Amino acid sequence: MSELIYFYSFTLVLALTIILCLLLLGYINPCITLQNRYMFVSIAGLIGWVFFVYYSISHFYTIRLVDIISTTMFLLASILAIGVFWSLICWGFTTSLLVALSCFHYPISADLWYSSYSSGSTITDFTNDRLSILIRLGLVARSSDDILIPGSIFAKVLSFTYRSLLRIYRINQSFI
Amino acid sequence: MITVLSLFSVVTSLVVTIMLLRSGLHLQPILIFVVSCFLSSILTICLSFSSLVSIFDMLPSLCFNVAFNIFHLFVFSSVYKSISLKMLQYICLTSQHDYVTVNSLSSGVTLKEFSERTDVLINMELITKHFDAYIVTKKGLLVANTIKTIQSIFNIKRIGLYGKF
């Protein structure tokens, strides 16, 4: 039974180690992009997990399949939670806007505020920046005359799911 | 028994979360998820003890419960705030009857989002508006400094757009 305690404790420690590695990697290699830093740490954590599970299966005879599945789910969810935290402090729109405004000690216009947030870019640059993810995922396609259209049937399925979830959670969206 | 416990905890947290979200209470969504995860975990532990289930049969169901709540929070936060998803939705709905360009997307989604987030910051008393100009409040400065401290701990030099950093 102590083997099971060890197994569950290690999963928790590994999830916390991922945050520590995310921190250390920023000092070891400051040139690495923020996206790559998160990807690298997540993949390294998963590889470490696979080795640990392999070791546990061959040495701990009390480990059951349900323990492996539940702790794997827990680890994946932890990586996702770290990703949400990482995304919030790196690219969070509201947090970034607040940080940008805090650099000024006097009232500024909305245009100057936005310009400060996006390092001099325009609102169209911001739209293109967020759009780039949708285009990369194949959800949106850009025609030759710069008209934006849904990229695939998956985009329509995702849009329908999004609308259904808005109704379930009772969230109002003005443009729908 | 593990399956029953896992199903019980997951269904309980799902029901509690959706009920609280739909109730119209002015609570932070993250708080709702934490409360429902905590509540369903407590109920699962009580059910395990009352039916004399071993702690090692209870642990997987707690892991499933925490994992489910994090996945659910991820889905909810995407639906609630993601600008990319709002853009996709705008393109899918508007392209049925009109052309969508980057400019129309900017005015239809990005500018609205910008003013919506500004209102959120004003309602949270983190910034104030003087005529058409904005300035950060003392409370806002404290929050901004906390964010900056976290960023400096993680050695994050600059934040904002995906493409630039």
Percent with pLDDT over 70 in chain A: 97
CA distance A29 to A31: 6
How close, in Å, is residue A26 to chain B by CA atoms? 5
Average pLDDT over residues A46-71: 87
pLDDT for residue B159: 59
Residue-wise pLDDT tens digits, B75-91: 998 888 888 889 999 88
Are A78 and B70 a contacting pair at CB < 8 A? yes
pLDDT of res. A173: 62
pLDDT exceeds cutoff 60 at A175: no
pLDDT higher than 90, residue A109? no
Instruction: Give SS3 for B127.
Output: strand
Residues whose CB is less than 8 angstroms from the CB of residue B91 and which lie 6 or more positions away in sequence, other chains included: A140, A148, A149, A150, A155, B100, B105
User: What mean pLDDT comes out for the span A111-131?
Assistant: 81
The parts of chain B modelled with pLDDT lower than 70 are 158-165
Alpha carbons A155 and A146: distance in angstroms, whole number: 18
Residue of B nearest to A69 (CA): B60
Q: List A148's β-bridge partners, or say none.
A: A142
Taking Cα atoms as reference points, which of A117, A66, A113, A110 lies closest to residue B165?
A: A117
Nearest Cα neighbor of B73 from B34, B120, B23 is B34
| ipTM (interface pTM) | 0.80
Look at residues B45, B41, B42 and name the one whose alpha carbon lies nearest to residue B55.
B45
Q: Which residue of B has its CA nearest to A133?
A: B84
Question: pTM for this one?
Answer: 0.82
- CB neighbours (10 Å) of residue A129? 20
Buried b (16+ CB within 10 A) or exposed e, A83-117: eebbebbbbbbbbbbbbbbbeeeebbeeeebbbbb
CB–CB contact B92 A155 (8 Å): yes
- The token duo for A152 is 């695939």
- Buried/exposed code over A44-64 (b: 16+ C-beta within 10 A; e: otherwise): ebbebbeebbeebeeeeeebe
Q: What is the pLDDT of residues A32-48, one digit of tens each?
A: 888 888 999 999 999 99
Average pLDDT in chain A: 85
Distances, alpha carbon A103 to alpha carbons A66, A98, A109, B126, B129, in Å: 51, 9, 14, 14, 16
Q: Which of A77, A155, A166 sits opposite B71 (nearest CB)?
A: A77
Q: How far is A170 from chain B (nearest CA, A)?
A: 6
* pLDDT, mean of residues A20-25: 86
pLDDT in the model for residue B69: 92
What is the reported pLDDT for A170?
84
- Phi first, then psi, for residue A152 (nearest 5°) are -155, 175
Q: Where are the alpha helices (DSSP H) in chain B?
A: 2-22, 29-50, 55-81, 83-94, 102-105, 111-123, 138-153
